[in-house]
Structure 1
Amino acid sequence: MVAWERMRDCWFECDRVPVLLERVERDDAADAWDELGWRLVLEHDLVSPASFAALPRLVRLAPRSARARALAGKILGRAAGHHGCDDLFAEHAGAVAEFREFLDRHLRSRPADYLVSFRALLAAEGEYHWAAVLDDFTDDFFPLDCPGCGARVTIAIGDHGRYSEVPGMDPDDAGRRGLRPAVPEDLVRTGRRMHEAAVRDGQAALADGILALFGQAECPACAAVFSVSDEYGAGHRPVMG
């Protein structure tokens, strides 16, 4: 039984979240979902005790509600931050595991909310930085630092092209280099899981983008060749605690 009187939300109130949960469980009201969303997840990755306390009920709603899946995924995507709720989050490990298992089944059905659910699954697996950054690879840019010279490199993966570029360098003067996508057989761990799931579920554009994300890039400034995913992960992994 949740002691809601001690579970403040992101606006430091304790009474609204249980009321809103009861309402969305009853009639899936859009306005209730909207308010619940900004009470449980704020900008700048802020979550609260009420956010984690709400997880089991959101997971129960997940099979019939895309809004529940999205909100639970957002909360989990911020679980690594400085929220002070580690013990409370740990109490709901069972709900997180249940959500993870459901999402894997859900993705196999190729749902309309595929990408949202895919990112939620990554968050439920603890892959927080990929859950936060992954998009549809139509217009995606990933900033990182070259391990060779320290230059700020932009990695572009989208319909406009797939390349590395150093801002300020002339792209027509060797300032833009094409990416070297990974070979599926060479992928390991997270990259392999992500790619295999996308292929399994017929998400060709996502699968192809993942190969670029887990491939190699060349720094236009110094010609160093490096792993895009390794350098992005090193610079963007959330601080735990």
Structure 2
Amino acid sequence: MVNWAEVYDCRFDTDRVPELLERVESEDDADTWKELGYRLVLEHDLVSAASFVALPRLVRLASGSASARRLAGEILERAAGHHGCDDLLVDCADAVSEFRELLDRYLQSRPADYLAAFRALLAAEEQFHWAAVLGDFTDDFYRVDCPHCAVEVTIAIGDYGRYSTVRDWHLGDVSRRDLRPVSPEALSGVGRWMYRTAARDGEDMLSEGIAHLFGDAECPSCACVFNVADEYTSANRPVLR
């Protein structure tokens, strides 16, 4: 039994979240969901103890409620942050596993909010760095340091091209180099899972973008060739405690 009197939300209150959860369990009210989100997820990627205590109940609602699914995903996307609630997150293991299976089924229905659900699934798989930045590849940019000369390289994947460049404040993209996408057969690990999931669900632009993201880039400064995903992951993947 949860002692809500000891569980603070993001606004440092203890009484509102349990009351709001009871409301949404009986009625899918937009204003109630708005306040619940306000109390469970803060700006700047912050969550609270109440966020993780509420997570199992949100997951139970997620199969029939888009609001519950969205809010549970937002909480998980912030689970690697400095929230001081690691023990509560561990207690959510069963709920996270259930949410992972629910999201995978939901993605196969090819929903309108596919990308949001895909990012939530990435978070459920503890791929927090990709959950935080993955876009729809219409105008995506990733910044990495060249592993050879340490210059900052901008990786562009979108409608305007798929290339590596050194971005200059005045000159724009300098010395573009075409990206070298990986073949689906050569993918492994999380890259293969991401690609196969998107391809399975007919998300061609997403799967093609993933092939470029997990492919190679050439540094415009020193011509070093490096793997984009490896360098981005090395610099951005959080270390779980």
TM-score normalised according to structure 1 size: 0.96
Q: Distance in 2 between matches of 1:92 and 1:41?
A: 17
CA distance in 2, matches of 1:89, 1:135: 26
Letter in 2 for 1:81: G
Residues 81 and 239, structure 1, Cα contact 8 Å, conserved in 2: no
Aligned-residue Cα RMSD (Å) equals: 1.4
Q: Structure 1 residues 42 and 172 mapped into 2: Cα distance closer, same or farther (>3 Å)?
A: closer
Task: Work out whether residues 82 and 240 of structure 1, in 8 Å CA contact, stay in contact via their aligned partners in 2.
Answer: no
Q: Which residue of 1 aligns with 2:178?
A: 178
The worse-fitting range, judged by mean Cα deviation, of 46-55 and 76-85 is 76-85
CA deviations 1:90-118 (Å, max 9, x no partner) are: 11111111111111111111112211111
Identical-residue share of aligned pairs (%): 65
Partner of 1:167, secondary structure, is strand
Distance in 2 between the 1:110 and 1:172 partners? Answer: 35
Q: How many angstroms apart in 2 are the aligned matches of 1:213 and 1:141?
A: 10
CA-to-aligned-CA distance 1:199-225 (integer Å, 9 cap, x gap)? 111111111110011011111111111
Looking at structure 1, the residues matched to 173 and 40 of structure 2 have their Cα atoms a distance apart, in angstroms, of: 47
**Structure 1: gaps spanning 5 or more residues:** none
2:199 corresponds in structure 1 to 199
Counterpart residue number, 2:139: 139
In the alignment, which residue of structure 1 is the partner of 2:165? 165
Q: Distance in 2 between matches of 1:38 and 1:215?
A: 39
In the other structure, the counterpart of 1:152 is 152
Kindly tell me: are residues 172 and 40 of structure 1, through their superposed partners in 2, closer, same or farther at Cα, counting changes over 3 Å?
closer
Query: What does residue 94 of structure 2 align with?
Result: 94
Q: Deviations over 1:10-56 (max 9, x none)?
A: 11111111111112222211111111112111111111000000101
- How far apart are the structure 2 equivalents of 1:76 and 1:4? 21
Aligned-residue offset at 1:240: 2.7
* Greater strand content: 2
Q: d(CA) in 2 for partners of 1:204 and 1:79?
A: 29
> Contact between 1:141 and 1:154, CA under 8 Å: does it hold in 2?
yes
Does structure 1 residue 64 correspond to structure 2 residue 79?
Answer: no
> How far 1:171 sits from its partner (Å)?
6.4
Give the Cα–Cα distance (whole angstroms) in 1 for the partners of residues 142 and 67 of structure 2. 27
CA distance in 2, matches of 1:113, 1:23: 25
Name whichever of 111-120 and 188-197 sits farther off. Answer: 111-120
State whether residues 81 and 240 of structure 1, in contact with CA within 8 Å, keep that contact through their aligned partners in structure 2: no
- Distance in 1 (alpha carbons) for counterparts of 2:101 and 2:161: 35
Query: How far apart in 2 are the matches of 1:163 and 1:38?
Result: 39
Q: 2: CA distance between counterparts of 1:94 and 1:79?
A: 15
Instruction: Tell me the distance in 2 between the aligned counterparts of 1:52 and 1:98.
Output: 15
TM-score norm. by structure 2 comes to: 0.96
Larger relative contact order (C-alpha < 8 A, sep ≥ 6)? 1
| Residue type of the alignment partner of 1:113 | D
- Name stretches of at least 5 consecutive residues in structure 2 with no aligned partner: none
Equivalent positions of 1:21-60 (< 5 A) are 21-60=21-60
Q: How big is the shift at 1:125?
A: 0.8
Structure 1 residues 66 and 172: CA distance shift in structure 2, 3 A: closer
Partner of 1:124: 124
The reply on whether 1:212 has 2:212 as its aligned counterpart is yes
Would the aligned equivalents of 2:166 and 2:173 in 1 still touch at CA under 8 Å? no
**1:164-187 deviation digits (Å, cap 9, x = unpaired):** 1112295686x1111111100000
CA contact 1:40–1:50 (8 Å) conserved in 2: yes
* Residue 14 of structure 1: aligned partner: 14
Partner of 2:105: 105
What number of residue pairs does the alignment pair up? 240
